[in-house]
Amino acid sequence: VVEQRKNSFEIFGLDFVVDEKGAMWLLEVNSSPSMEHSTPITTKLCEDVLEDLAKVIVDVPAEREKRGTKNDTYPFGYATGGGGGIPPAPL
């Protein structure tokens, strides 16, 4: 278990399966998931996750400009300054 520290964050790994009708089911949530590059696919996914994480943490001005937002919103709908929270799941 990772101890909570002020001004820090944690990445969670979410495992999903998609059924024959295209419905997505959450299998499990992992705290501190492995970011090991075990296949070409996981190599690309892990690199993308870490790059996007840095963009959210730093909120790079160039990225804000690309998405046409100010400092008050992040990609994927996460809000700053307060509750934040998880965006609603798509229908």
Helices (H), the chain: 40-58, 61-67
The pLDDT tens digits for 50-74 are 888 887 777 666 777 777 766 555 4
Measured between its terminal Cα atoms, the distance across the chain in Å is 33
Q: How far apart are CA 69 and CA 62, in angstroms?
A: 10
pLDDT at 71: 54
Phi first, then psi: what are they for 29, rounded to 5°? -120, 125
CA dihedral 73, 74, 78, 84 (to 10 degrees): -60
pLDDT above 70 covers what percent of the chain? 68
The pLDDT tens digits for 22-56 are 999 999 999 888 888 899 998 998 999 888 888 77
pTM above threshold 0.85 = no
